Structure 1
């Protein structure tokens, strides 16, 4: 597969010189698709006698308990339908049931069986919240509704045959008496015996009720469960409740729990800011009915990190997985980081994607995915990853690139600007000025460095009270100009999208399509099927493209629109981002797929025919012909003929030679007499640089790779003129 080398175990340690040793540029060295990610948050964990199986944002991992060797399963090397795994369970026969955001995967260790909207239409293509593997190929799936599969056909439990409401079933557990226990977003716990439903809710006994996080059962059939308020023990119709205030419970934010054979309750807890501790650190804790224990570095080798997944092995001892992308075992004192990180991303979820004029890519987390942890914005130049920590970590509202490659980051407090590696700050006007606030999510920069942003402005009414109006504002570096319904033809509606074309005309989607001609806002001819989710892009001829209802497109030639209905039959929906590639094809992103339109033909890319995941959050094109895609699981790049990661900056001649020495695990480089490198840089998959000074009177040097982790590395030689020459190698 295209990028299996990114996921190989460090224990299979040998070197592969990627493609040839000499590169005029990297165009010939890369496949059509590349994927960049980092391990982050273990969502599910299953421990057996030999392996620990881990599901998270980078697919399925199998970790050897004895050696730590890791093997990964993802859409690039298996039939797994998504990189994102939210839940999984294992049947008695060893078969895995794996819930993703693109269907259910059932795997017996050899054969994958996928259930999605194609063969199980009741699965609606959204995230699967919980699975429960039963016997003989049967099991339960919680999604919008609760579904039962008997090995042949599906049965749905909805309001017609159960007390469940849409999206209510969040956790599934099989009780000792065989009943199904359903933990709900409402705080209810439903019990189903195959015929009848019964319900309990702690709110009925005066306790706080919220989403059920975890469920377990003791040997006496009493039930343990948790929600945001604490831990509950339900026995014989009554509750015992534990939190930080009424007990020595170290942390009440229980994400997962298991009850062992001695009725000890083991809990994986995440960091929690509460009345009794601020914060309560995450980690592993236990309760034996009398004594509470918290395991951290003071009394064990357990890291004090936020843990969100938990399982007990064959000896009843806990394994936990956390938000840091690692798993740990209490008894062995072992911590295994999942080695899928092959980039400098600070979080796999991509909400921001910007292309620098010289081809570099800014990417990272952000407000577009508020349910994910935010990540810092990073700059990727094809070789190195450079972070912007401290200026992006608090969920940016919008980002933009100026005509001189300045980076602007819009936050609630102010606006940050990065110019030539130096940050400065432009403060937003405070309330009391014309602009009331800018807690909105659109921003663009024109060629004159004017900042355009959506705003909420206020106008004083005749009675003296402020009346709020939504509109758009421009900052010219000295003053603000605001347009809303009181001083222009614009409607008092949210600005859904801003776009600036090559002539500096500002386009806006807000209850229709608008354009600022330098004097006033006008409405050009309106394309059919425009809606609030429509997005704009421009081709090299100045044509304006827009996404429409039913996944269609339209192009404006300055006078009229030409529409291009989508013949692929996706039904109602609108592409949520557009980009025009160097070959002038239009790329359109949606939740279920990405489409390419060349002016005549449509081409579909999804998890079935490409490495792409579901829920593309952003798409951008660079000057090298690459198209970049942001996803909750990471960053993808595509180019027909091979992704180009750096400019053709060096001549094709080979001034140096690479020698591989397997026995001593090192590389040596020698070079011609007329070539004199000053230094060599080894750049890790995370973008970290190791600089090696080259001896000036020697024609070679040695690079020891015995301690390098698995991944794709760049070796860059810098000559006396500052000219870099690049080769790439992969540690397997």
Structure 2
């Protein structure tokens, strides 16, 4: 690729980034892979249960098992971490996240951030619809009401209440009064005109965390609190805890009553059913502690009970046994990512806070504390041997997956100098080079040698990262001393004190296609080595706001992709830099912990709290169950002209297909084929029209689509173009 092509690609980066921020329609350049088993709240709409999860909004149809996931890549949700969901009487889904509020009505999304609401925080805790159709929203910094397209802050101001602006729960009683609970136990009531205290008794609810509010048909107010549950009526206020009742545990997060009058209490360890003054306590799982943290209960029309837990969606059968229903679209153990890398065979390896996983394009294989002895700590980095073995560095030792066996080495069961290992690289001779808390280490079979690139005796240089160049030179990045290379005999040290590089702390090292190392630094961005020195043209705060780079990877064109801690994804091509962040793209989070590029130039990103994001600048058009593959640069382009009844397309160049036939495909932003047809026979015209109808004959909905032209029976496109279908 010449420099002109490289700069053209850079400009395409910018256009795509800007384009992605224009619409809340579905997007075919980004995809999220998340852990969506941790459920915070449930809302019911006929036979569909809406789940607020840590990995997106899940719509689960109980009668068919159909799962639909809404996240940053395919909806207007401002954050994948969903805290609450409410369905209004007009069908609007109101979704509260850690980073704003979203409303979806008839497929159209609207997002409200703290600036729109007037709040001091984007964190949404609870939502309820008022008697007049207004929407009440409890945030970290106050209570707000949305009515007639206007936000109103609610000043509660009751002196006798122990009150906090952190609104933790909302409810409405039979008299249409709004009830609001604060973090420290105060509960206030709004009758449409004024606020008053629900209870001022010191023995009732004070100085405790309120988790849920539910008003029963008999008028009693049930309050889920840290210690258990409190029942308030006109005569009394009674608190039930594990000490004075059969309650399974404290931390009652949900209170629901079924059609027979039984009250279900979701607790921090199992749940309790109260029926005819009889208490029954049930545990969902004796091993998986997260599945016993109950956050929601729903009663399906077909009679089944569905339970939302911190460990997944569970169906309670008639015999009181439990069936799990997976809702995640990945094998991730959590959304808190620590590492990500791509093996030479194309298998993705990703480490999360509660386990790690591999993905071969079809199957996710998970390793966690319940199913594998290999999971003792989260992998921080990976190394790959020529025999196919995968090595992973953890703070508790060094692991290896071989084709037929696996091992986990520590300082106790091997000759390792330390078990606290941050990175591993494997050279062409099969030697493992380790970045450890004790400094650089060479592991060759059972022989373990500590390396000393410094003259100061008794001081260890903590090594954070390591990489090996094609000529066998080993590069180490240190916690405070910069970067050094080792050729087997001699060390060469580059640091801030000598003016070689700007940073002391090096977080990542990657070998570029030209064989030279690039380093990611704390605060000072990234730089690369060429000739005998490091480039002084450091990519830093002049190019993107957060200069901390935690990962670097390269695509087949030589473009460097930088994972930054706060500025999102940065692409470096030629002399140009393009940034993709939450503001201008569908990236779910700007804090990235790693980046890997596969053989099809798909960009895989480890986000800090939002799982894995996948980016493909040419658009992801494969079925959602398949591994997205990047289309290579098309050889032709498409001209498009729209009119009321038809759209005219033409190829700017004659591709002269060997088969004699080209196919055109119109694809929506979910990757679904809307229309397709033959457009060209050899020696004939390269123009065609489309009547704006789907393959089933329906009028196509206005929006953004992709037009792809390819040779018949081929998967590689000859031309690709975006189509904004206008309404007429």
TM-score (norm 1): 0.63
Q: CA deviation at 1:121?
A: 8.3
CA contact (8 A) 2:117 2:144 kept: no
Among 481, 484, 488, the residue aligned to 2:456: 488
Among 355, 359, 372, the residue aligned to 1:375: 355
Confirm or deny that 1:396 pairs with 2:378: yes
Confirm or deny that 1:285 pairs with 2:272: yes
Superposed CA deviations along residues 203-239 of structure 1, whole A, max 9, x for unmatched, are x869997754434345455442232x54444677865
Q: How does 1:174-573 map to 2 (within 5 A)?
A: 174=171, 176=173, 178=177, 180-184=179-183, 188-189=185-186, 191=188, 211-218=209-216, 219-227=218-226, 229-233=227-231, 239-243=238-242, 245-252=243-250, 254-258=252-256, 265-269=263-267, 272=269, 282=270, 284-288=271-275, 290-294=277-281, 307-311=294-298, 319-323=306-310, 325-326=312-313, 328=315, 350-363=337-350, 365-367=351-353, 374-380=354-360, 382-387=361-366, 389-404=371-386, 405-411=388-394, 414-429=397-412, 438-439=419-420, 441-446=422-427, 449-455=431-437, 471=439, 473-482=441-450, 488=456, 497-502=465-470, 503-517=472-486, 519=490, 522-525=493-496, 530=503, 534-547=507-520, 552-557=525-530, 558-560=532-534, 561-565=536-540, 571-572=545-546
Q: Secondary structure in 2 aligned to 1:562?
A: coil
CA contact (8 A) 2:85 2:96 kept: yes
Q: CA deviation at 1:601?
A: 2.4
Among 593, 596, 615, the residue aligned to 1:620: 596
Q: Secondary structure in 2 aligned to 1:358?
A: coil
The 3 A distance-change label for structure 1 pair 99 and 536 is farther
The 3 A distance-change label for structure 1 pair 209 and 606 is same
Equivalent position of 2:559 in the other structure:
585
Equivalent position of 1:60 in the other structure:
57
Q: Distance in 2 between matches of 1:622 and 1:141?
A: 43
CA contact (8 A) 2:78 2:102 kept: yes
Q: Distance in 1 between matches of 2:381 and 2:359?
A: 13
The 3 A distance-change label for structure 1 pair 359 and 42 is same
Q: Distance in 2 between matches of 1:411 and 1:392?
A: 11
Root mean square deviation, CA, Å: 5.2
Q: How does 1:656-671 map to 2 (within 5 A)?
A: none
Among 594, 605, 612, the residue aligned to 2:569: 594
Confirm or deny that 1:43 pairs with 2:40: yes
The 3 A distance-change label for structure 1 pair 291 and 387 is closer
CA contact (8 A) 1:158 1:164 kept: no
Equivalent position of 1:576 in the other structure:
550
The 3 A distance-change label for structure 1 pair 238 and 77 is closer
Q: Distance in 2 between matches of 1:297 and 1:507?
A: 48
Q: Distance in 2 between matches of 1:546 and 1:197?
A: 60
Equivalent position of 2:684 in the other structure:
none
Q: Distance in 1 between matches of 2:580 and 2:305?
A: 41
Equivalent position of 1:371 in the other structure:
none
**Which stretch shows the higher mean deviation, 93-102 or 173-182?**
173-182
Equivalent position of 1:279 in the other structure:
none
Q: CA deviation at 1:449?
A: 1.8
Among 605, 617, 627, the residue aligned to 2:580: 605
Q: Distance in 1 between matches of 2:101 and 2:90?
A: 18
Q: Distance in 2 between matches of 1:395 and 1:200?
A: 47
Superposed CA deviations along residues 225-272 of structure 1, whole A, max 9, x for unmatched, are 232x544446778652321x54322444534223579985422245x4
Q: Distance in 2 between matches of 1:250 and 1:82?
A: 33
Q: Distance in 1 between matches of 2:550 and 2:378?
A: 19
Greater RCO, 1 or 2 (C-alpha within 8 Å, sep 6+): 1
Q: CA deviation at 1:98?
A: 0.6
Q: Secondary structure in 2 aligned to 1:139?
A: strand
The 3 A distance-change label for structure 1 pair 257 and 440 is farther
CA contact (8 A) 1:498 1:507 kept: yes
Confirm or deny that 1:99 pairs with 2:70: no
The 3 A distance-change label for structure 1 pair 103 and 409 is same
Q: Distance in 1 between matches of 2:326 and 2:476?
A: 44
Confirm or deny that 1:152 pairs with 2:150: yes
Q: CA deviation at 1:66?
A: 5.0
Q: Distance in 2 between matches of 1:440 and 1:146?
A: 45
Aligned length: 576
The 3 A distance-change label for structure 1 pair 206 and 179 is closer
Superposed CA deviations along residues 613-646 of structure 1, whole A, max 9, x for unmatched, are 2254421123443321234555444444467879
Among 142, 145, 167, the residue aligned to 2:139: 142
CA contact (8 A) 2:433 2:466 kept: no
Q: Distance in 2 between matches of 1:623 and 1:61?
A: 31
Structure 2 residue runs without a partner (length 5+): 1-26, 621-626, 632-656, 660-712, 716-728
Q: Distance in 1 between matches of 2:375 and 2:416?
A: 28
Q: CA deviation at 1:84?
A: 3.6
CA contact (8 A) 2:137 2:143 kept: yes
Q: Distance in 2 between matches of 1:146 and 1:392?
A: 45
Q: CA deviation at 1:353?
A: 1.4
Among 68, 84, 87, the residue aligned to 1:90: 87
Q: CA deviation at 1:31?
A: 7.2
Q: Distance in 1 between matches of 2:178 and 2:103?
A: 23
Q: CA deviation at 1:149?
A: 4.8
CA contact (8 A) 1:489 1:521 kept: no
CA contact (8 A) 2:331 2:365 kept: yes
CA contact (8 A) 2:461 2:478 kept: no
Q: Distance in 1 between matches of 2:86 and 2:435?
A: 47
Superposed CA deviations along residues 368-417 of structure 1, whole A, max 9, x for unmatched, are xxxxxx2342242x345455551444432534213424222345654331
Q: CA deviation at 1:46?
A: 0.9
The 3 A distance-change label for structure 1 pair 117 and 640 is same
Q: CA deviation at 1:47?
A: 1.6
Superposed CA deviations along residues 127-150 of structure 1, whole A, max 9, x for unmatched, are 54444454554432424x335254
Q: CA deviation at 1:114?
A: 0.5
**Which stretch shows the higher mean deviation, 339-348 or 534-543?**
339-348
CA contact (8 A) 1:414 1:425 kept: yes
Equivalent position of 1:278 in the other structure:
none
Superposed CA deviations along residues 436-470 of structure 1, whole A, max 9, x for unmatched, are x6456444445552341322x6xxxxxxxxxxxxx
The 3 A distance-change label for structure 1 pair 427 and 550 is closer
Q: Secondary structure in 2 aligned to 1:428?
A: coil
